[in-house]
């Protein structure tokens, strides 16, 4: 059975802000004092964080003082954000949030009973308090992600890798789950630059990064470790499974169609793999992956070597 859905669009320009009750007290719902107080409280509470998940959790909790809901979902594709609070209901109403042409995501309210017109008006009035906190949070998230991304390959940079690796090691130990690293290096990359130019080399780096990401799960992470080296962090992945992933990456990188001015570039990659040992440090885990990569290079390249 198809789930009943109500769809609305909220454009937070000045006219709409007035329509939602800012500057026009006469347009407020039946109990303006209650809504006004709640909106004021939301305005203060939501400004205390730049974390989208915290902002939406507080918003979901507080609006239920006025309109009971079963769930709230939020999606913002550009930021790769998908958040959900509560349990899904049979009925839903969605709002596309925007400000001066800037898309701020889609918000979906759910509950088992259909929302009444009066409740929709109350929700729309309270949504206005979410505008600027979410806009600030999305801007901060974009700036933070930019600082942690390699601009050429759109993978994580060394700063992001340093922050993430120790966190993943701690999590693996806490949950007693395996963790593996793959160190991938493009074979004879200097020759590509020398023969075809640095622009072609940059295109190869982007293509290899794309091939890597296309073979991984959403929970796996890719970082540009050096000029032509990438580090792949495989959470909840043991030695044998990591070896299978490594071979898949090697094949995917090799079968890409790399060209420079119509000339095909033959390309292979070498990989080293290490799996976290008991009480092992991040430095040791990285060093063992790097040593395994050196073995793969020494034994003829275009292969995967496993750390002992």
> Distance between CA atoms of 154 and 91, rounded to whole angstroms?
38
Residues annotated catalytic, as ranges: 228
Q: How many residues does the chain have?
A: 308
Q: b/e for 200-216, b at 16 or more Cβ within 10 A?
A: bbebbbebbbebbbeeb
Q: Which of 268, 271, 267 is nearest to 290 (CA)?
A: 271
List, as one string, the DSSP characters of 252-279. HHHTS-EEETTEEEP--EEEEEEEPPTT
How many Å apart are CA 221 and CA 235, to the nearest integer? 9
**End-to-end CA separation in angstroms for the chain:** 55
DSSP classification of residue 1: -
> Distance between CA 215 and CA 232 in Å, rounded?
11
């Amino acid at each position: 059975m198809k789930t009943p859905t109500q769809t609305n669009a909220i454009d937070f320009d000045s006219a709409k802000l007035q329509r939602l009750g800012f500057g026009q007290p006469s347009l407020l719902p039946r109990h303006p004092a209650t809504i006004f107080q709640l909106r004021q409280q939301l305005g203060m509470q939501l400004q205390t964080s730049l974390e989208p998940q915290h902002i939406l959790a507080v918003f979901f909790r507080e609006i239920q003082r006025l309109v009971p809901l079963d769930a709230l979902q939020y999606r913002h594709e550009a930021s790769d954000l998908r958040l959900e609070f509560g349990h899904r209901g049979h009925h839903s109403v969605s709002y596309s949030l925007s400000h001066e042409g800037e898309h701020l995501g889609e918000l979906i309210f759910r509950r088992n009973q259909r929302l009444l017109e009066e409740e929709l008006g109350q929700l729309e009035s309270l949504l206005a308090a979410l505008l600027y906190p979410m806009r600030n949070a999305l801007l901060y998230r974009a700036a933070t992600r930019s600082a942690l991304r390699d601009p050429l390959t759109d993978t994580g940079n060394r700063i992001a890798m340093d922050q993430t690796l120790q966190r993943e090691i701690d999590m693996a130990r806490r949950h007693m789950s395996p963790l593996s690293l793959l160190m991938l290096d493009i074979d004879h990359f200097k020759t590509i630059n020398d023969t075809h130019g640095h622009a072609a080399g940059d295109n190869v780096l982007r293509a290899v990064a794309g091939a890597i990401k296309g073979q991984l799960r959403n929970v796996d992470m890719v970082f540009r470790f050096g000029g032509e080296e990438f580090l792949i962090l495989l959470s909840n992945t043991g030695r044998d499974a990591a070896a299978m992933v490594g071979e898949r990456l090697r094949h995917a990188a090799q079968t890409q169609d790399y060209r420079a001015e119509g000339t095909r570039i033959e390309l292979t990659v070498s990989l080293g793999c290490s799996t976290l040992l008991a009480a092992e440090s991040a430095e040791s885990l990285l060093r063992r992956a790097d040593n395994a990569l050196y073995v793969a290079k020494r034994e003829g390249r275009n292969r995967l070597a496993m750390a002992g």
